[in-house]
Amino acid sequence: MARTPVWKSIAETLENEIAAGHYSAGDKLPTEAQLAARFGVNRHTVRHALADMAERGLVQSRRGAGVFVAAEPTLYPIGKRVRFHQNIRASGRLPEKRVLRLQTRPCDATEAEALALDPGTSVLVYEGLSLSGGVAVAHFESVFPATRLPGLADTLKTVSSVTEALRQNGIADYIRAETRITAERASPTQALHLGISEGAPLLRTVGLNVTPEGEPVERGITWFAGDRVTLTMASD
Amino acid sequence: MARTPVWKSIAETLENEIAAGHYSAGDKLPTEAQLAARFGVNRHTVRHALADMAERGLVQSRRGAGVFVAAEPTLYPIGKRVRFHQNIRASGRLPEKRVLRLQTRPCDATEAEALALDPGTSVLVYEGLSLSGGVAVAHFESVFPATRLPGLADTLKTVSSVTEALRQNGIADYIRAETRITAERASPTQALHLGISEGAPLLRTVGLNVTPEGEPVERGITWFAGDRVTLTMASD
């Protein structure tokens, strides 16, 4: 009978300990060095075991922070009122945003059409990462009509909720007019940002937010890590 | 200056011809042998050019059938009334289903809860492929309460529309109670079924259909090829 490879037996041991509740969802596993010492193997073997567990969705490696027991996916309702901070809080986790870029540039043809702008009009580009309970769950890029919202760039430097930033710039309310959803592979940059492997499946949503009067205020593209977020849609 | 590789120049030529309308969405490209003869290169070089174009989403290779100019993704509305045949026809394409499995077996715990059945009650499993205009766009697996719908298995052997099959079994209408959406990698089997590469991104939806009175009649999991279908959601 073929001998079970050592890395596999380590993975099974850790899997059983997770199942038994020795480590809970979100817990950090011991370091590679600690696990190597515990199992009497080199770090290469430990890494093989952890890579196998990550591949099966049992653990998640976070760049520079360590390896964590995979959490249940964050449930993210998609409907008439899509609010990141509210959605993440409703799932019992802490919402955060990390700004990667705030830039004003002329809109492209797709943005002009979505936001009902004349070609070449200025848009504010807001690119960043969305975190749920300290874990990056999505990469986003939104564009806003810059002329209509001249103070928004400054507000977004300090206010991480788009809802709140829009409110401070005179948009008291907005609704989601349409969402389009596809699946894509993570680009090398997205893989780095989200701490996932290159080519990992992403949920890509394109959403258009409009005022209750129907005026477009935001076109946002969000790439959710496929194993960290489940979009939910109730039908009423 | 670096010389452009031959495969790249072939890919650019074909791309320009597609852009110019010499080949339209859904058209079959000439065979590898024909292209090799035309460009005076071997088939390996042609294959390299086509693989590059496929990677960029310009063409799609269909097992045994050839290489086709990529069609625009099928827009697939997800809402209160999700109807495959209707959705595909609305996008101007021909809907078809290919049955892979019709089987009765005891339900598992998840299915029991979703369909409000006692554990171990019989469910009818209906697995198959959904085609849009002759192209497989999704792999699906639905379960129905078998005791409540004893004639459904026979109906589904000849009637490809679930809506119509349910109607013939006394379910005049149903609505989508909830949909959950994640992204996953295509398994080797799914890659074969859909004619896509292993690990390609899939949109996975789990939907629960209920009668207008709220009685569950179908729990369906569908894996859409990420580059062939865009789920759309209007918010009203």
Q: What is the pLDDT of residues A193-208, one digit of tens each?
A: 998 888 889 999 999 9
Quick one: which of B200, B205, B179 has its CA closest to B190?
A: B200
Does residue A17 surpass a pLDDT of 80? yes
CA distance B40 to chain A (A): 34
Cβ–Cβ < 8 Å for B46, B39: yes
Cβ-based contacts of B75 with chain A (< 8 Å): 180
The whole-number average pLDDT for the span A112-134 is 93
Partner residues linked to A182 by β-bridges: A204
Q: What is the pLDDT of residues A36-93, one digit of tens each?
A: 999 999 999 999 999 888 877 788 887 677 898 887 788 888 888 888 888 888 888 8
Q: What would the 3-class secondary structure string for A18-68 be?
A: HHCCCCCCCCECCCHHHHHHHHCCCHHHHHHHHHHHHHCCCEEEECCCEEE
CA distance B224 to chain A (A): 9
Is B179's Cβ below 8 Å from some Cβ in A?
yes
Take residue B62 and report the two structure tokens written for it.
């269909």
Predicted local confidence at residue A176, as pLDDT: 92
Predicted local confidence at residue A134, as pLDDT: 83
Residues 6+ apart with CB under 8 A from B214: B177
Predicted local confidence at residue A58, as pLDDT: 83
**Chain A: residue whose CA lies nearest to B186:** A201
Best-predicted range by mean pLDDT (A17-31, A144-158, B56-70): A144-158
**Chain B: residue whose CA lies nearest to A78:** B233
CA distances to B105, B128, B134, B146, B154 from B102, in Å: 10, 9, 22, 11, 9
Quick one: which of B14, B61, B19 has its CA closest to B36?
A: B14
Helices (H), chain A: 6-19, 32-39, 43-55, 84-90, 109-115, 152-158, 162-168, 188-194
Task: Tell me how far apart the alpha carbons of residues B11 and A181 are, in angstroms, rounded to a whole number.
Answer: 29
Looking at the partner chain, which of A80, A176, A183 has a beta carbon nearest the beta carbon of B226? A183
Hey, what domains does chain A have and what are their CATH numbers? 6-69 (1.10.10.10), 74-232 (3.40.1410.10)
Looking at the partner chain, which of A203, A229, A233 has a beta carbon nearest the beta carbon of B78? A233
- Interface confidence, given as ipTM, is 0.76
Is B93's Cβ below 8 Å from some Cβ in A?
no
Chain A (40-79) residues lying within 8 Å, Cβ to Cβ, of chain B: 73, 75, 78-79
CB-CB neighbours of B78 under 10 Å = 22
If one compares A236 and B128, the residue with the highest pLDDT of the two is B128
Predicted local confidence at residue A153, as pLDDT: 96
If one compares B58 and A213, the residue with the highest pLDDT of the two is A213
Looking at the partner chain, which of B182, B199, B227 has a beta carbon nearest the beta carbon of A199? B199
| Strand B229-234 with B74-77, pairing | parallel
Predicted local confidence at residue B82, as pLDDT: 83
Task: Tell me how far apart the alpha carbons of residues B217 and B10 are, in angstroms, rounded to a whole number.
Answer: 52
Say which range, A16-25, A224-233, B100-109, B121-130, has the weakest mean pLDDT. Answer: A16-25
Is B234's Cβ below 8 Å from some Cβ in A?
yes
The whole-number average pLDDT for the span A146-175 is 94
Cross-chain residue pair A203–B181, CB shorter than 8 Å: yes
Q: What is the pLDDT of residues A173-190, one digit of tens each?
A: 999 998 999 999 998 899
Task: Tell me how far apart the alpha carbons of residues A73 and B205 are, in angstroms, rounded to a whole number.
Answer: 14
CA distance A185 to chain B (A): 6
Cross-chain residue pair A182–B227, CB shorter than 8 Å: yes
Average pLDDT, chain A: 90
Partner residues linked to A231 by β-bridges: A76, B181
| Residue A223: pLDDT band with limits 50, 70, 90 | very high
Task: Tell me how far apart the alpha carbons of residues B1 and A224 are, in angstroms, rounded to a whole number.
Answer: 40
> What is the DSSP secondary-structure string of chain B?
-PPPPHHHHHHHHHHHHHHTTSS-TTPBPPPHHHHHHHHTS-HHHHHHHHHHHHHTTSEEEETTTEEEEPPPPEEEE-SSS--HHHHHHHTTS-EEEEEEEEEEEE--HHHHHHHT--TT-EEEEEEEEEEETTEEEEEEEEEEETTT-TTHHHHHHH---HHHHHHHTT----EEEEEEEEEEEPPHHHHHHHT--TT-EEEEEEEEEE-TTS-EEEEEEEEEETTTEEEEEE--
Cβ–Cβ < 8 Å for A81, A175: yes
Mutate: best of B196, B197, B221, B231, partner A, most A CBs <10 A: B231
pLDDT by residue for chain B (236 residues), tens only, comes to: 567 889 999 999 998 888 777 888 778 899 999 999 999 999 999 999 998 888 777 888 876 778 988 877 888 888 888 888 888 888 888 899 999 999 999 998 889 999 999 988 999 999 999 998 888 999 999 999 999 999 999 999 999 899 999 999 999 999 999 899 999 999 889 999 998 888 889 999 999 999 999 999 999 999 999 888 999 987 65
The whole-number average pLDDT for the span A157-168 is 94
Is A178's Cβ below 8 Å from some Cβ in B?
yes
CB-CB neighbours of B173 under 10 Å = 11
Cross-chain residue pair B182–A176, CB shorter than 8 Å: no
Question: Chain centroid to CA B62: how far?
Answer: 13
Mutate: best of B181, B184, B204, B218, partner A, most A CBs <10 A: B181
Predicted local confidence at residue B11, as pLDDT: 93
Cβ-based contacts of B197 with chain A (< 8 Å): none
